[in-house]
Structure 1
Amino acid sequence: MMRLMNDLTDVEGWMSKVFDDAFVENWKKRVRAKEDDVSEPMLDWLVEELRFKAQIARYTDAINIHNGDVVKSDSVVLRDLAKDTKQAVKPLEKMEEYALGYNLGSDEGERDYVHPSFFPLVYGRSRILRDRTIGIDDAIAAIGQGDIIPVPKDPATTLSSRVAQQADIYVKPYSSNIQWLPFDVRFREDGGCYIASYINNVHPTKNRDVYHVIERVLEKIIPMWNMTLTPLKDMLHSRSRIEYRRAEYEKREQGTGPEYPQKLVRETQHELDDRIYDWRGGFYKVIQPEPGRFAPIAMPVQLAEGLPPEERNKHRIEAQMDLRHDYGDRGLQVILRIHNARLSPAHPEMVTKWHVEGQMNEHICASSLYFFDNENVEDPLVEFRQASDVEPLQDVIYDKGDSLWLEQVFGLKNNEPAVQEIGGITCREGRAVTWPNILQHRVTVRLKDRSKPGHCKAVNLMLVDPNIRIISTSNVPPQRLDWKDESEGLQELLADLSVDEQVHRLKRDENFPWTVQEAMEFMKKAREEREAFNHYQDVAFRSRTVSI
């Protein structure tokens, strides 16, 4: 049902078409022809839910699709902004033309114009201003100022026994070496927002156009983050969409099939269970749970305000997240990455690993991707999976030894990790998607015409938990030696010089600021550390198993 809803909301003009009875009937007819397990009550539920979501989308320009509140938007503003983003990013792309091209990812062809592991906060090396903060305009003048940030005490290892028992897990959740540096975001009285401190690796004067487009992207992403984070604030969203109480089956085809398998001589119980599983899966399919009539769990305030009082009183008003209202005085902290998946006939596909964003140091609570330049690629696919609560499964009534319903209804298998792949979103140019950082995600990009090269460029904005303040670029002056001199063409010149020659060309104090080559060494260490953390996180994510 979630997949069908996602597919229909990819149709141009879906917000009005779902209220067109002729369109709805044709859509139902197509679904009936393709989907065996979709019943009339399911279709009726979907139509009512889509009409409800369409009313919300008129206010938000976005729609929440998958469980976990993945949100997508094809806002006209975002589509129109793609052209400006391409233009603003061009100077950053030039860096890739010479020695400053860099790549943190292990995926073939993935390149970063801006990556938070390049010139990050390095404990014991970076400097912090303890007595003041800096903005965009005075950032360059503050280079070299401040006190060295001490190395924190070694963080305790807080791994559960299910994770720690793996011999290859030695990582600590918090890093005592490196932290990504967010920039500060403030809200304007007119409802917009502005960037209040420099973006790491984006020059505050030479690349000012990047700041302007990122502000405009944020003005669309922040309301989407509100939608993504609302379920974490309003616990009613933790309820099951449709209850499943009893495992029941029906034959795939009419007639008689093989009899129920009986235990053979010298056959183990495990072998018998496997034969029963194959027998049931081959000749029977589970009867999917039927929904009742759709009713929203809670009513967004925007819709409730338009209802008559007697109708409004029938609904619970949703406790929505409002980042501007709740954190307007202190602002937000956001981490930026801009990357490019470059494909070629020799490497026509890129698939990232399943992962979450950042380490524990960054306290990232939500993330986003905005695809602003897709050239000769199929629409990139962003997929999500969640670690699921398996306790409610104990209440399901089923025959002893039967676990086929787990796979056919929930996408889970007995004695395997309690991880559900909840679906994916295809991202055409100009689309943005947000999700909570409790979900793992991966991105797949493929060439459309495999005889020619192509690319996919995206802005990745990550929201630091607004309840926690971490060290940001308002506290840490720029750390790049090549930013000390504003001369035109300086970066190209320095790229051809050794570290000693760069230091001679641009004076520095006590090995600070850093050269690009030095930053690359920090970046390599960050890559190793984060790969180890991602492995730990993935093991932890999959450590809970289904057991019925």
Structure 2
Amino acid sequence: MRELTMMQIMNTIIEKPEWERKVFDEEITSRWTTEISESGKDVTPKMIEWILAELKHKATVLKETGMVTAFNPGVVRSDSAISKDLQAALQKAMKHLEDVPEEEKDYHPGSDNQVLDLVHPSLFPVVYGRSQILKNEVIRLDNCWSWSGQAELLQTPPEEDAKIKGQYGLWPLRQGMKAYSTKFQWLPCDVQFIGGDDDANKCQIASYINNLHPKNSYDLYQVIEQIIAKTIPLWDETLHDAVNPPSPRISYDDVEYLDYDVPEPEYDDFGLDRVEEYLEARRAWGVNRPIIMPEPEGEFDPSKRSRSYLGPWIPLSDKFRDSGLQVIVKLANIELTPEKPRYEGGSWHVEGQLNEHICATAIYYYSNENITHSSLSFRQRAIDDFTDLNYPQSEHDFLYSVYGFGPDVDGNNDCNITQELGSVSCLEGRLLTFPNVLQHRVAPFELADKSKPGSRKILALFLVDPHIRIISSANVPPQREDWWAEEKMSLGQDLFSKKDLPVELQQMIKEELEGSPMTIKEAKELRLELMEERTAVKGQQNDMVLTSPAAAPAPLAKRNTPNSSGTNNGYFYQFWDDGSSGTTTYTNGPAGEYSVNWQNVGDFTAGKGWQQAEARNISFSGTVNSGGNFYLAVYTWSTQGENYILEDYGTYNPCSGGTNMGSLNSDGSDYQVCLVDRGNNYLQNWSIRQNKRSSGTVTTANHYNYYQSHGMTHNPLSSAAYQIVSTEGYGSSGSADITVSEASPPTSSSTGTTSSTSPTTGTTSSTSPTTSSSSGTGAAHWGQCGGIGWNGPTTCVSPYTCQQINPYYYQCL
């Protein structure tokens, strides 16, 4: 929070007129120091000292480059990149698009006739299953009319290809999120570099801008080319800052608290009937507990902000000189009138879907007329990985004080957290660039003089990731029927003036000329579908990634039972809830009994068992009631990985996202076995019972032996893992009442054999590890050969040897 405050203070100062001169005036900076100190913000003298030193560095960079970074990562602005002459040329070139009859104006749907779309990528986009594409040819700007009838239909990709699959940290309810569209893609134009060493960023548009006629708007094309060239240095700075971010202004390694004479509320003092009262008391205690807040260490070092220090960066004009860039162009006006004097602002969003692979945005504000102050706000999802931070276990109150996440955020990666960076003023003549990892939103503004109209006009440029080539206007012939009508008229007159042309051929030519283009009516209908699809995606982004504002405390999560683990009535228990949503109540019962109720939860795990995993025979009984996603499993957890022997589950089979490892038969049922890699070599072994049940006995050794014999490297018996019969729910509601106990080792007659099917070697049979004879012969492969209380053979049939698994169980391996 303090570093955000520092950036916001600096941004406020660099919005002041002539700040780059004033920052070197000690009298003025002394006044700024007083203003900052008395502002009520959480600032210290060290922070102010750093702020002023960094501002002097920013002023030096501004003098050298004409640009300044407003926020990290990569929000860069320039008030001088576009000259007054080029600005005037753009305003002039836009006139023929603006001066059209009212009935021909294209107002953006849902904007109450306030947002005028002059060139918008959502109109006549690539439409899978409708658009035509050239697979082996490239359309140039000067010949885009000559490809009629030579393109092929662009096929619709499978729906499954549009989903996020099996990524680490994504629970099943997120794995179905559509990152790609199977219907639409915005259409970029190709841009080629043509400058020499003295003008490396000089470029030309090589294929048509979608919805901007290359003949009728020739002058506008030339102006946009020049603006793209002036934008490239800012994009370089934006992407360099995003890829090679500077070191934090404030380092935070150790959480330390000041002495606090108020005792911490104890859960046992409240009881189950006063859980919410306890949570409120604990939250208030944690929020008020005084913490030692971090601040900058040492002095600001400008050398550590240089490109050479932060990491290598090859300018776009060098790295992509041969292949060029792809840019999506948008031109839009916000028009206010005395009847509609206020624009209510936009919504939080990033640009496009993954189809477009947009990596950075540029917005040029080329005209502001009779409007109040306007700004563009930014926010980001904070990184909540605290593995390198030293803090007391299970004490996460510092996240509220230090990071502003909210008092119930517990450091889990699935938490929904945001940090609002701040806002940049949208001044006329300003060029602004930022990476497409930041969400942005247009702030409200209104007419300055309510008696006459006003407007704000922008040119937006969306840079496609240059490492990836997507379908562009170099691949898709123009799709607009009104464009083709002009060409068709002259072409048709030339062709049909030849009286000897057969009637049949004339009809074929007409059908060919009229077959492919889209009408404006069809295009507008498709635009509504595109907008509906992207509005849904935007909602998913906000719901799943960026929902809790960082500046204010988050609402108290009605988790009811605090996260905890320990010993209860001779059994180890574990309860964990990600706290992202809903209500979960966990209760320990007598001996191995527990119950849990959950409503609309994000994710939780609860259960009873043992603090150290062993090859136990585990009995469980009870009921699970849930119409959604849940697991009932013998579960082991360690820092190396997890094991699930899944006895009952809801709507999602976790092996659908894993690697098939065959099947085994144990305890009266086949089990599907798979391996899931959660990333960073953190593995999950899964055995999924085909005959689901909520009561029975699990011979865990059968599963652990199978994992080992099939190369599933994580072994719960060789690491510090706890072992519980767990109930887990995610994105669902339900209840469970389970009793856990350790069963007596089964006799040889009751266990029989365990069969397994390998995914690579077919079917094999093997003796169960608990069926060894007590005769003098050696135990078979996987048979028990020792351990506390064991009276059977202590040797193994060759070539197997007796190896200790734990003090109670030795096995022939």
Q: 1:530 to 1:536 in 2, by over 3 A?
A: same
TM-superposed deviation, 1:238: 6.3
1:528 matches 2:532: yes
Q: Quick one: which amino acid aligns to residue 353 of structure 1?
A: S
What is aligned with 2:312? 319
TM-superposed deviation, 1:100: 4.9
Q: Quick one: which amino acid aligns to residue 336 of structure 1?
A: V
Deviations 1:362-390 (A, max 9, x none): 11111121111222222322111111211
TM-superposed deviation, 1:80: 5.0
Worse-matched range after superposition: 136-145 or 317-326: 136-145
* Distance in structure 2 (CA, Å) of the matches to 1:374 and 1:163: 46
Higher strand proportion (structure 1 or 2) = 2
TM-superposed deviation, 1:398: 6.4
1:199 aligned residue (206, 209, 213):
209
* Distance in structure 1 (CA, Å) of the matches to 2:303 and 2:293: 25
TM-superposed deviation, 1:435: 1.2
1:387 matches 2:381: yes
1:300 matches 2:309: no
Q: Is the 8 Å Cα contact of residues 184 and 473 (structure 1) preserved in structure 2?
A: yes
Question: Aligned ranges for residues 379-528 of structure 1 at < 5 Å?
Answer: 379-392=373-386, 395=389, 397=391, 403=397, 405-413=398-406, 414-415=408-409, 417-449=416-448, 451-452=450-451, 453-486=453-486, 509=513, 511-528=515-532
SS in 2 for 1:513: coil
* Distance in structure 2 (CA, Å) of the matches to 1:274 and 1:80: 62
* Distance in structure 2 (CA, Å) of the matches to 1:20 and 1:93: 46
SS in 2 for 1:81: helix
* Distance in structure 2 (CA, Å) of the matches to 1:259 and 1:171: 46
* Distance in structure 2 (CA, Å) of the matches to 1:82 and 1:229: 25
Q: Which runs of 5+ in 1 are unaligned?
A: 252-257, 305-315, 491-502
* Distance in structure 2 (CA, Å) of the matches to 1:393 and 1:250: 25
1:334 matches 2:327: yes
Q: 1:89 to 1:411 in 2, by over 3 A?
A: farther
Q: Is the 8 Å Cα contact of residues 261 and 276 (structure 1) preserved in structure 2?
A: yes
1:222 matches 2:222: no
* Distance in structure 2 (CA, Å) of the matches to 1:262 and 1:175: 51
TM-superposed deviation, 1:299: 5.0
Q: 1:8 to 1:510 in 2, by over 3 A?
A: same
1:246 matches 2:250: no
Q: Is the 8 Å Cα contact of residues 343 and 446 (structure 1) preserved in structure 2?
A: no
Q: Quick one: which amino acid aligns to residue 528 of structure 1?
A: E
1:364 matches 2:362: no
What is aligned with 2:187? 181
Deviations 1:453-478 (A, max 9, x none): 43222111111010010111112121
Which one has a bigger Cα radius of gyration? 2
Q: Which runs of 5+ in 2 are unaligned?
A: 1-5, 410-414, 491-506, 549-577, 581-813
Higher helix proportion (structure 1 or 2) = 1
What is aligned with 2:159? 154
RMSD, aligned CA = 3.4
* Distance in structure 2 (CA, Å) of the matches to 1:250 and 1:546: 28
Deviations 1:383-431 (A, max 9, x none): 111112111377254697562x434432311335122112121111111
Q: Is the 8 Å Cα contact of residues 416 and 544 (structure 2) preserved in structure 1?
A: no
What is aligned with 1:132? 137
* Distance in structure 1 (CA, Å) of the matches to 2:448 and 2:33: 33
Q: Is the 8 Å Cα contact of residues 96 and 102 (structure 1) preserved in structure 2?
A: no
Worse-matched range after superposition: 519-528 or 268-277: 268-277
Q: Quick one: which amino acid aligns to residue 77 of structure 1?
A: I
* Distance in structure 2 (CA, Å) of the matches to 1:218 and 1:330: 16
Q: Which has the higher contact order (CA 8 A, sep 6+)?
A: 1
SS in 2 for 1:429: coil
TM-superposed deviation, 1:16: 2.9
Q: 1:16 to 1:146 in 2, by over 3 A?
A: same
SS in 1 for 2:422: strand
Q: Quick one: which amino acid aligns to residue 355 of structure 1?
A: H
TM-superposed deviation, 1:330: 0.5
Worse-matched range after superposition: 124-133 or 265-274: 265-274
Q: Quick one: which amino acid aligns to residue 321 of structure 2?
A: G
What is aligned with 2:767? none
Q: Is the 8 Å Cα contact of residues 343 and 350 (structure 1) preserved in structure 2?
A: no
Q: Quick one: which amino acid aligns to residue 17 of structure 1?
A: K
Taking only the aligned residue pairs, the percentage that are identical comes to 35
* Distance in structure 2 (CA, Å) of the matches to 1:105 and 1:96: 21
SS in 1 for 2:355: helix
TM-superposed deviation, 1:110: 2.4
Worse-matched range after superposition: 417-426 or 274-283: 274-283
Question: Aligned ranges for residues 19-58 of structure 1 at < 5 Å?
Answer: 19-58=24-63
Deviations 1:226-269 (A, max 9, x none): 111113443xx264331133355699xxxxxx966857766745
* Distance in structure 2 (CA, Å) of the matches to 1:448 and 1:282: 44
Q: Is the 8 Å Cα contact of residues 62 and 74 (structure 1) preserved in structure 2?
A: yes
Deviations 1:500-541 (A, max 9, x none): xxx9xx975463211111111221221122122222333342
SS in 1 for 2:139: coil
What TM-score do the two structures reach when normalised by structure 1? 0.83
Q: Quick one: which amino acid aligns to residue 427 of structure 2?
A: R
